[in-house]
Structure 1
């Protein structure tokens, strides 16, 4: 399909939190594009010496250009008359600034349908990612494993990952719920100290902390350079943490009152995630094999109904992005330019 389309020129704005050039590879080899790639300022030191070597044959033959710089460079390549379309990895605020202009004018422009950037624009953006724990019989070893797995997924890259788990969904009546929560906190408390690095982390944590009076830091560390996870022990349907991606070490819990009934929980968890959480990038659902087998039809229906681009079953949903042959991106058709949330388009899917 794509190779039959007329080749075109795409401007790609790279991510600030990682660099695996799936965006370049996808646009060039899946979508048949010639590309210019701009590295993110936060990744420049790592990326700029490597990509020109990695892609030297493509650069030498004129199929790819690589540049770096601040906002002005990005604006120049986006608005160049040579650029037919664009792609970015980042946050919805950056997308809105590019497409709809300054924050002061965005609402008016959206209402009138008057973007400042009108070229086709795909975007891989973030979300408030759920981590669903289906009630069931777990051994102490299994419960410990699940706690360690959640903590490790949360702390990866200092939580500066668009798929970082943010909301843990539990059945309030599950007998093991509080034991699980305590184990997660123990793992986080004993996690080796390291510094956060992504710009704006402290501001985002502070905003969510102020919005949740019952929140607390696991380590209670006096050094604000050290990653100290913020726990929000309980949320309601209007909590800010459900609507605002932290992109930081923030972990919140949401309890459903479903009487330790697996099938009722699955139905309510799907409803909550689809209707109360920001974005549709990825989610994760943990279920014991025995419970999955016993409630296979209800579980399969839940997977079908969860409105996410990627779902991990007994696996972190974000791990999908590690494999180039899998599709990564928001749920197709879930968002619009006016309400972009997790973005439009995809990366990966290289075996198509």
Structure 2
């Protein structure tokens, strides 16, 4: 594990404090130039980022599965940069982020929704039929929407130094948090790498060398000791972290349960600075019943298996709980096909500390079933089907597995419409977390349910809701805000406070709703069964770094051969 000496931590913070006001005053054209320079450097170092992550996770960098590391690493970072450049260019032209005509509409409950995807030819070619709407918090109207966008560019304010406590599981999380703090919130940043993936630190430093070279970013290393030192450093103005609620509470309320209880009772947090966070979630997948063909059953089984298998299931948006209707005639067939799809995938190395122990805990559940065997250093896939929904305290409802396990619970309802009405309250009230949720529903089912389906989508209290796609797609696409559903507090932090990405710079988003076709064609590059996912993802990285219509044909051809 790498460590940065305290004297160097102090120097890093000191440099940032001398540069924070300069960054706050920096012109938009100069910001655009720095962002473009970072895109060029990021593309250059991308193969090394992917190779390093694959080595750490036991993946072959030349195999299709390496596409995961391309998509969740360089592609996401480069797209984030490109979209920030687009927004900054709009601010330079007209003073605010750009929204195309007709993108704003009123929802039946009065909230405002803004369509933000697709935003160009690339989006339409690669994600046909896919849309993303951002639903605003109450009080945002057509007349004041522009006043709730790009707040850091509308208000004159002094600079600040933000500490970003990086995540250990995904290569893009730390860099994208840095981009959000710098370009959306107007803060300079010290990024402390997580010990699990601190091997990425030098590569991130090279990718963001234009920012670091001008004193707007510092990358440092260490464990709990260095993190605590920076959290309480007088030169740090605010903190953003990605991790678990348990780690958040140790930072904010104290190391022991007794100290946390005492401080909570008197509302005496150890940290008086602003703390934002993106934390865990037991991600539900609501399966809306319908009459599915054999091909549709197979496609959705692969879809769910991908949500479980990706990154050894060490994702805060990994599918953890299938929510089905007990009366659905195809329920058993679908669950069997999910199990078969998982059994057909290679088991992954349990690279993340603690994941093997969590796997042992979850597979000791009385309804657990371990699937195909695995290599000695890999964790076999496991299912925990038919968990009683009345068992409110069951581990599958209350704890994020962080290992390749997926559970299922079946709700009793008189018909599919009653199931749709019951699904949102069940997920909101019984399942831990509010980060993201997935809904699988065929077009005929959506049409048949009509308003009942839309009420379910409206009722789900999650920061991101993905219909027929994995919610991680919204993360990688980077245009929508990514974070927990608003309303959490330091005392009850849930899935976190605040949001990142958000390249259109909405100040008051409530949630994002991504919708896609029931069967996407071509098959999405992130599917674990895609045989050329790594080829598609690498070409996507090149496109995002330097968009050109001339790159689209080759990219589309690669995507069309799954």
What range describes the TM-score normalised by the shorter chain of this pair? over 0.9
Matching of residues 21-170 of structure 1 within 5 Å: 21-45=175-199, 47-104=200-257, 105-170=259-324
Aligned position for 2:497: 344
Aligned position for 1:15: 167
Matched, 1:314 2:468: yes
- Compare CA radii of gyration and give the structure with the larger one: 2
TM-score by length of 2: 0.60
* 1:62-90 deviation line (CA, Å, top 9, x unaligned): 11111111212111221111111000111
Q: Report if aligned partners of 2:347, 2:381 keep a CA contact under 8 Å in 1.
A: no
Q: Give me the whole-angstrom Cα distance separating, in 1, the residues matched to 2:250 and 2:165.
A: 14
Q: Give me the whole-angstrom Cα distance separating, in 1, the residues matched to 2:329 and 2:483.
A: 36
Aligned position for 1:250: 405
Q: Give me the whole-angstrom Cα distance separating, in 2, the residues matched to 1:272 and 1:329.
A: 21
* 1:298-349 deviation line (CA, Å, top 9, x unaligned): 111111110000000011122211022111000011x211121200000111
Q: CA deviation at 1:216?
A: 1.8
* 1:243-276 deviation line (CA, Å, top 9, x unaligned): 01111111111101114x2211111111110100
Q: Give me the whole-angstrom Cα distance separating, in 2, the residues matched to 1:323 and 1:187.
A: 26
* 1:76-132 deviation line (CA, Å, top 9, x unaligned): 221111111000111111111111111332122212212112210000111000001
Aligned position for 2:152: 2
Report SS of the residue matched to 2:348: coil
- Length, aligned pairs only: 347
Q: Report if aligned partners of 2:348, 2:380 keep a CA contact under 8 Å in 1.
A: no
Report SS of the residue matched to 1:207: helix
| Cα 1:98/1:224, change in 2 over 3 Å | farther
Aligned position for 2:456: 302
Q: CA deviation at 1:170?
A: 0.5
Matched, 1:207 2:361: yes
* 1:210-241 deviation line (CA, Å, top 9, x unaligned): 3x2121211255x5521212211122332111
Matched, 1:226 2:385: no
Q: CA deviation at 1:202?
A: 1.6
Segment drifting more, 306-315 vs 201-210: 201-210
RMSD: 1.3
Q: Give me the whole-angstrom Cα distance separating, in 2, the residues matched to 1:218 and 1:258.
A: 30
- From 396, 419, 422, the equivalent of 1:241 is 396
TM-score by length of 1: 0.95
Q: Which has the higher contact order (CA 8 A, sep 6+)?
A: 2
Report SS of the residue matched to 1:252: strand
Q: Give me the whole-angstrom Cα distance separating, in 1, the residues matched to 2:304 and 2:386.
A: 17
Segment drifting more, 303-312 vs 318-327: 318-327
Q: Give me the whole-angstrom Cα distance separating, in 2, the residues matched to 1:204 and 1:112.
A: 33
Q: CA deviation at 1:153?
A: 1.2
Report SS of the residue matched to 1:344: coil
What stretches of structure 1 of length at least 5 have no aligned partner? none
Q: Give me the whole-angstrom Cα distance separating, in 2, the residues matched to 1:66 and 1:314.
A: 38
Greater per-residue helix proportion: 2
Report SS of the residue matched to 1:138: coil
Q: Give me the whole-angstrom Cα distance separating, in 2, the residues matched to 1:273 and 1:30.
A: 31
| Cα 1:192/1:220, change in 2 over 3 Å | closer
Q: Give me the whole-angstrom Cα distance separating, in 2, the residues matched to 1:139 and 1:298.
A: 23
Report SS of the residue matched to 2:202: coil
| Cα 1:95/1:275, change in 2 over 3 Å | same
Q: Give me the whole-angstrom Cα distance separating, in 1, the residues matched to 2:223 and 2:436.
A: 30
